[in-house]
Structure 1
Amino acid sequence: MTIHGEHPFLPPESDRSPVRRFRGRLPSPVGLWTTSYDGRRAGLTVSSMVVADGEPGHILGLIDPDSELWEALREAGTAVVSLLGEPHRQLADAFGYVAPAPGGPFRMAEWTETEWGPALASATTWAGCRLVDPAPPELGWSLAVSLEIQHVELADDTQPALVHRRGRYGTA
């Protein structure tokens, strides 16, 4: 067995979309979107998201239309968006389906059940949200999913935020 320093499934840079390469140069916060419906949980690491302040506030995220998260979110109508920190790198990869998670990624951490879905117990910041439109518009290869923020938890913010840039994690 050989361990490589590069991502084994990543196409060569010359074969990647220039738009994706442009986007990859923007540092993005790493969020974990989770929901539960009919006794099963679903989650996905999302770094293509923006938060809009207002009454109410909104989170807009680009979600894979074929993901388990989208299927469950559409049915449940609610989600928790947790902002990940430095200690959550492995969890981010597991929920991004680029690292193994025997028994599923939800077994890798402790969770608190909320009215919006499972919240990562070790996340210092999370929002409980309601899905705005069960048929969101397509945007590129993704769905432009809008969530209305109904509740925000802000704990001591001493851990560095996890950010994603050019296929790698860093902190901000």
Structure 2
Amino acid sequence: MTIHGEHPFLPPESERSPVRRLRGRLPSPVSLWTSSYDGKRAGLTVSSMLVADGDPGVVIGLIDPDSDLWETLREARTAVVSLLGAPHQQLADAFGYVAPAPGGPFRMIEWTDTEWGPAPVGVSTWAGCRLADADPPEVGWALQVQLEIAHVELLPDEIPPLIHRRGRYTVL
């Protein structure tokens, strides 16, 4: 077994999409979207997202249409969007399907069941949301999923946020 210093499946720089490279140079928040339906839990690490204020406020994210999260979210019509911090890098990798998680990523930490889905214990910020449209538009490779924010939890102990830029994590 050989340990590589960089991602073993990363194509050479000359073969990478210039649009993806542009997006990769933007610092993005690392969030975890989770949902549950009929006893099944699903989650996905999402960094292509934004939050818009309003009545109601909304979270818009790009979600893989083939992901377990989308299948579960479409049925449940609710989700928890959690902002991950510095201590959650392994959790982000597990839910991003780039690191192993023996027994599944939901076994890595404790969870609180909410009316919107499972919320990870130990994050400083999460929102309970409702799916705005069960048939969202396609944007490039993804679905542009819009969630209406129904509830926000802001804990007083702020954890430094985890940021994704150029394929790597950093802390703000």
Q: Given the two structures, how large is their TM-score scaled by the length of structure 1?
A: 0.99
- What is the aligned residue count? 172
Q: Name 1:144's counterpart in structure 2.
A: 144
1:57-89 CA-to-partner distances (Å, cap 9, x unmatched) read 000000000000000000000000000000000
SS in 1 for 2:160: coil
Listed as ranges, the matches of 1:1-172 within 5 Å are 1-172=1-172
The whole-number CA distance in structure 2 between the counterparts of 1:157 and 1:134 is 35
Moved >6 Å (runs of 4+) = none
Shift of 1:49: 0.2
The whole-number CA distance in structure 2 between the counterparts of 1:124 and 1:66 is 29
Runs of 5+ consecutive residues of structure 2 not aligned to the other structure: none
Please identify, of 40-49 and 12-21, the stretch whose mean Cα deviation from structure 2 is larger.
12-21
Amino acid at match of 1:76: A
SS in 2 for 1:71: helix
SS in 2 for 1:9: coil
Shift of 1:29: 0.2
The whole-number CA distance in structure 1 between the counterparts of 2:14 and 2:96 is 23
1:104-150 CA-to-partner distances (Å, cap 9, x unmatched) read 10000100000000000111100000000000000011000000000
SS in 1 for 2:113: strand
The whole-number CA distance in structure 1 between the counterparts of 2:96 and 2:110 is 18
Identity between Structure 1 and Structure 2 (%): 77
Shift of 1:6: 0.4
Amino acid at match of 1:156: P
Amino acid at match of 1:98: V
Amino acid at match of 1:130: R
Indicate conservation of the 8 Å contact 2:123/2:159, yes or no: no
Indicate conservation of the 8 Å contact 2:34/2:44, yes or no: yes
The whole-number CA distance in structure 2 between the counterparts of 1:38 and 1:52 is 30
Amino acid at match of 1:51: V
The whole-number CA distance in structure 1 between the counterparts of 2:156 and 2:169 is 22
SS in 1 for 2:133: coil
SS in 1 for 2:90: helix
Runs of 5+ consecutive residues of structure 1 not aligned to the other structure: none
Q: Given the two structures, how large is their TM-score scaled by the length of structure 2?
A: 0.99
Shift of 1:157: 4.2
